[in-house]
Amino acid sequence: MTNLARKLRLVDYFTLGFGTMVGVGWLVLMDDWLSRGGPAGAILGYALGGIALLPVGYVYGRLISQRPDAAGEVAYTAAVFPRAASYWTGWIMLLAYAIVCPWEAVAIGRVAAFIFPALDSVELYRVAGSPVHLPHVALGLALTGTLAALNYRGIRQSAIFQNLTTFGLLLLFGVFGAAGIAGGSARNFTPLWSHTPGVSVLLALQIVPYFMTGFESTAKASEEAHPDFPAEHHLYAPLMAIAAAIVFYCSVIAVVAWAQPWQSVAGENFPTAVAIERAAGSRWVVNVILAAALLSLGKVFNGNFVAATRLLFAMARRGLVPHMFAAVHPRFQTPSAAVVAIGAGTAVASLVGSQLLVPISEVGSFAAGFGWMMACAAYFAMRPAAMDRALAIIGVLVGASLMLMKLAPVVPGHFTRWEFFALGCWLALGAAMHRNGTVTETKA
């Protein structure tokens, strides 16, 4: 085993898991959430969806405690399944993390332009009919470079950034949440449902896994735990992250629905900010919300960057992809080559704009479900205690259900030809990387 710096404690694992899960969907997609289920349907959808993920989080906690390996799902599946199954589990899971990074690099320009409209200027080119502006590109590249530098120089710096942005988001949510409640009314909740109660909950439930992906990222940093970190504490981090995400999502939905009649924010650019600004009757609260969004965007970017770089590093160390990605910096004890590779890939991908990233992001949701399913199947095959085997079966069903929702044509939001094309391209790249990695290992 190549040693990475061991600096992380439980609070760092919590902010990594929670921070990787909760992005800016609560700001930019709130009208979609409410139109799917209404206040009651959206809240129940997130609550039930989050509860369904607790068995998956438990299984991950057990696996991390027993096998603290940056390879995560690769290590778990390698213990019981053939090498090919282990590789493809890791490669598909890598997409779930890697695609979030350029998405956040693109999103920072959009959020910043809401504060400073002048940033929507100097059009460079168009992608699928949508303009790409120079200030947006510059902000995205600056954020990518900053986080890559943080992760290159040490996991401790990355963890400090993750802690500050995570707790900063929670603090600012308390501020603008109180403003929304003070200016709102329970009457704004009506109607409670957008459709019939059952359909409302189902429509909301379909999107929950995408916005709850990330709790398993703690596995990728498990080798970097402080030397006196108790192994059994690895069980707590994913469960704490899931529980906190449930409370956060349900709370922000409730605040927005309380602040204004939820139908009135449909079609708004940033519906959460619009609703709470109207309730508070002042612009200052919008700046607080957008500051919270920028912090949230940064922590999601950083959390997924940590997970992606560690997974790529660990796969290279196992000879699954070219060995050059297994390099560790002699001074900083970070996976320096993987950091450079993911940073460069993020910078290039962010240049295509949001239009082309949408179908790839949809594939990322499918990828996470596949990884959860395989990890839980591996734990089941390890023959744990009866209760743990039952929870592993539930985890397999949860992961398989998420995949089915993306593949079955009868389910709203299923893959179009563009998502299948994006998945095919990633699998083709994976085949080439695996072949090169195997050739390198053979020569060595």
pLDDT tens, position by position, 184-238: 999 999 899 988 998 889 888 878 877 888 999 999 999 999 999 999 899 999 9
Question: If you average pLDDT over residues 164-179, what whole number do you get?
Answer: 96
Q: Report yes or no: 54 and 239 within 8 Å, Cβ to Cβ.
A: yes
Task: Give the pLDDT confidence score for residue 2 in this predicted structure.
Answer: 58
Question: If you average pLDDT over residues 84-104, what whole number do you get?
Answer: 93
354: which 2 tokens? Answer: 């949001």
Task: Give the pLDDT confidence score for residue 131 in this predicted structure.
Answer: 86
Residue 280's alpha-carbon distances to 206, 275, 288, in angstroms, are 32, 9, 12
Question: If you average pLDDT over residues 240-254, what whole number do you get?
Answer: 97
Q: Which residues contact 354 (CB under 8 A, 6 or more apart)?
A: 103, 106, 107, 110, 130
**What is the chain's mean pLDDT, rounded?**
91
Question: If you average pLDDT over residues 85-108, what whole number do you get?
Answer: 92
Vertex 246 angle, CA 241 and 248, to 5°: 90
pLDDT of 39 higher than 90: yes
Q: Which domains does the chain have, with CATH numbers?
A: 10-443 (1.20.1740.10)
Question: If you average pLDDT over residues 164-188, what whole number do you get?
Answer: 95
Within 10 Å of residue 409's Cβ, how many Cβ atoms? 6
pLDDT of 250 higher than 90: yes
Distance CA 109, CA 192 (A): 34
* pLDDT tens track for 357-408: 666 667 877 899 999 999 999 999 999 999 999 999 999 999 998 888 888 8
pLDDT of 441 higher than 70: no
* pLDDT tens track for 116-146: 888 888 888 888 778 888 999 999 999 999 9
pLDDT of 438 higher than 80: no
Distance CA 403, CA 444 (A): 38
pLDDT of 16 higher than 60: yes
Closest CA to 93 of 428, 398, 366: 366
Distance CA 394, CA 196 (A): 27
Distance CA 131, CA 122 (A): 10
Confidence of residue 162 (pLDDT cuts 50, 70, 90): very high
pLDDT of 29 higher than 50: yes
Distance CA 209, CA 222 (A): 23
**Residue % of the chain over a pLDDT of 90:** 68
